[in-house]
Structure 1
Amino acid sequence: MTKCFLSSRRANYQKVMALMFAISFGTTVTAQNKFEGLEHLFTVPKSYVVQHTDEALKIDGNLQESAWQKAQWTTNFVDIEGDLKPAPFFDTQVKMLWNDSTLFVAAKLQEPQVWATQTHHDDIIYKDNDFEIFISPANNTHQYFEIEVNAINKIFDLFLPKPYRNGGNALISWDIEHLKSAVQIQGTLNKPGDKDKGWTVEMAIPLKAIRMGFATDPPKEGSIWRINFSRVEWDTKVRNGKNVKLTNAEGKNLPERNWVWSPQGIINMHAPERWGYLQFTRKDNSEFKMPYTEYQRKYLWLIYYRQKQFQEKNGKYAATLNELGIEAKQNVEGQSNQLKMQATDSQFTASIAGEDAKLISINDEGLIKIINSK
């Protein structure tokens, strides 16, 4: 059942990506409008500067410690597609802290009807209304982690070696060792006869548990990870004293609503390049500063998306940047940069290099690599 349900979700993501590419490719691409049709994939992701704390936090879902009181809440969640869809009708916010061994996450979810049905670890938690965390310590779009929790604090945690769109398969047998989590309900559970206020989540995620053996250094001052948060919300009605999902004329569940912190621009959480930025600091009042390499990556993702469009239309990848309507020389934030691409019908690698000694590359699976010298 688990494998079947996940396969269905993965298939939906692939259909969404294919449709997006097909629609966007309807416009003739030129050097002057190289981003046209893809604007929703190039909005600037949100950022959060997470403060270090030495205070011991009791993971109980109450968030009463002084460190939590000082931590800033994020802005309210938006629809996963951003401004393309109406704003959510229930508020959701997140705040974070860290110490040398742990990333702490807290969330508050406004919800007049708190309910949950999944009662075992690694059940398909998003069958319920849930809260989800996506973490990429390496910021390379591969080797990332997902944690889902429902209102009765049941966890679904998984590791993905690469996104579903690139043929990745979730490793559900992976568990976050020593994860601590708690949920507090402001109201009642599974009692539709009354009105609830919502529920809060608190998690302590061991940093060493989200490294999975690959070379990701522990956070230091200014370190940047990619992270996003999602809330799955189902439309329901009360039947025989229970909350049941609304269905269409064929009796199938209506699609869930996906509300997120940083908008993806597409209905797909498994596009890690669209996640928000998490910057670690020990300083007070530190402000987020976008690394220059992130501006460069924008052009690598442009190549990636255009190549996927080209493949969708022609059954193969473009051999040259010119076929994609992309110039080799680009001005990136006032600096001259050079794009290069090598491609066969079935594979490609592209790179960008600026005025420093750093070269960044992307391949047909969306894997980002940073090389220190040209």
Structure 2
Amino acid sequence: MATLFPISRRIQTVFLISMLFGPQITKAQSPFAGLENLFATPENYLVRHITNAPVVDGDINDAVWQQAKWTNNFADIEGDLKPKPPYKTKVKMLWDNNYLYIAAHLEEPQVWATLKNHDDIVYHDNDFELFIDPSTTTHSYYEIEVNALNTIFDLFLNKPYRNRGGGLIGWDANGLRSAVKVQGTLNNASDTDAGWTVEMAIPFSAITMGFKSQVPENGTIYRINFSRVEYDNKIVEGRNVKLKDSTGRDLPEHNWSWSPQGEIAMHSPEHWGYLLFSTHEADDVAFTMPYAEEQKKYLWLVYYREKQWYRQHHAYTSSLGKLSIKSKYDIAGISNKLKLQSTQNQFEAFITDANTNNTYTINHEGFIEQLNPIYHE
């Protein structure tokens, strides 16, 4: 969901503040102790390349879709902190040289939708959402939402809302094709439905920065996640009506996601799943966590603790020790060195492995990237 209005439960940011600066970390403890929910391993999906594209009509029983595997069913956005959702949601994906194809199945006993205009704030209905970061920097990413009327709300974000980013609603996913099919009857509260399915074809040209469309290659990795918004409702005079609190406001929505975020915040791209593009026809490829992603965990540890330090002291620190973080860690048997520099209102952290001297960096806005060795001593 795009966080545009303060009344939405989605804008809450759970940093588990009380755990951040609890007991000092000992040698026997994990450096992530107290933050385990923010460092749960994200989901991953291997997406297969195809030559015959599916027909985008909402019917996801096409023969071509039989080549794709379903994801695990969605969990609550906070992961194990909350119960499993009562209705199942799952996704499968395929790709060719022009499009990323998405198929989703949502169990739902009462399928309803009200918003009909492009770029209506679709998450005010029950909806299905996807978030995609081709650059894997947590900045310059895309969001597409759809309801059971196939109304699209698409936007581009220069950076997450937590870092004072903004949603560019004027951006449209040019060439996007989408369709919805209801297994039951839409907006008919007198019967019980089985659910609804979503089918999309997202052009790579629509999610590319720069002048030339960037088509993935075998082995390319994107960060991606999917979310489902579900409201509690009741039937009033034959219609589905959202439940309200004592002040007349809608009750907070339920947020269910493929890769749990560990907090009520879809706009934390570091928690999104990994999408691995493959051109192999046989099932002889498996996702392996890149070594760089293991390194980046320590950069995110610095980021979370710097943010808490700033809230307490109104300035960032250049001392890793004050954040209860060591300057050296062994990752998969390889020594890695952490370095931190800061001013009052900015910081940048670096991690370098001793074998290759590859360096990754993160700053106070959560922008994370590999540092060009030309510019790094």
Task: Calculate the TM-score normalised by the size of structure 1.
Answer: 0.95
Q: Which residue of 2 aligns with 1:154?
A: 151
Q: How does 1:279-298 map to 2 (within 5 A)?
A: 279-283=276-280, 284-285=282-283, 286-298=285-297
Q: Which residue of 2 aligns with 1:48?
A: 45
1:6 matches 2:4: yes
Q: Distance in 2 between the 1:357 and 1:215 partners?
A: 31
Residue of structure 1 aligned with 2:168, choices 148, 152, 171 = 171
Q: Distance in 2 between the 1:318 and 1:99 partners?
A: 47
Task: Kindly state the Cα deviation for residue 249 of structure 1 after the two structures are TM-superposed.
Answer: 1.9
Q: Which residue of 2 aligns with 1:307?
A: 306
Task: Kindly state the Cα deviation for residue 63 of structure 1 after the two structures are TM-superposed.
Answer: 1.8
Answer yes or no: is the 8 Å Cα contact 1:319–1:345 preserved in 2. no
Residue of structure 2 aligned with 1:186, choices 183, 187, 196 = 183
Task: Kindly state the Cα deviation for residue 254 of structure 1 after the two structures are TM-superposed.
Answer: 1.0
Give the AA of the match of 1:7.
F
Answer yes or no: is the 8 Å Cα contact 1:157–1:172 preserved in 2. yes
Higher percent of residues as helix: 1
Instruction: Provide Cα deviations, 1:277-324, integer angstroms capped at 9, x if missing partner.
Output: 000001121211111100000000000001011111111112211111
Percent identity, aligned pairs only, is 51
Q: Distance in 2 between the 1:173 and 1:135 partners?
A: 17
Q: Which residue of 1 aligns with 2:204?
A: 207
Task: Kindly state the Cα deviation for residue 217 of structure 1 after the two structures are TM-superposed.
Answer: 4.1
Answer yes or no: is the 8 Å Cα contact 2:234–2:241 preserved in 1. yes
Task: Kindly state the Cα deviation for residue 344 of structure 1 after the two structures are TM-superposed.
Answer: 1.1
Give the AA of the match of 2:352.
A
Q: Distance in 1 between the 2:211 and 2:312 partners?
A: 36
Give the AA of the match of 2:365.
E
Answer yes or no: is the 8 Å Cα contact 1:357–1:372 preserved in 2. no
**Equivalent position SS for 1:56:** coil
CA RMSD, 1 decimal? 1.7
251-260 or 28-37, which deviates more: 28-37
**Equivalent position SS for 1:117:** coil
Answer yes or no: is the 8 Å Cα contact 1:21–1:312 preserved in 2. no
Q: Which residue of 2 aligns with 1:357?
A: 357
Which ranges in structure 1 are unaligned for 5 or more consecutive residues? none
1:235 matches 2:232: yes
Q: Which residue of 2 aligns with 1:333?
A: 332
Task: Kindly state the Cα deviation for residue 29 of structure 1 after the two structures are TM-superposed.
Answer: 3.7
1:99 matches 2:79: no
**Paired residues, what number?**
368
**Equivalent position SS for 2:345:** coil
Give the AA of the match of 2:234.
K
1:246 matches 2:251: no
Answer yes or no: is the 8 Å Cα contact 2:205–2:213 preserved in 1. no
Task: Calculate the TM-score normalised by the size of structure 2.
Answer: 0.94
Q: Distance in 1 between the 2:253 and 2:117 partners?
A: 21
Task: Kindly state the Cα deviation for residue 214 of structure 1 after the two structures are TM-superposed.
Answer: 7.9
Give the AA of the match of 2:311.
E
Task: Kindly state the Cα deviation for residue 123 of structure 1 after the two structures are TM-superposed.
Answer: 0.2
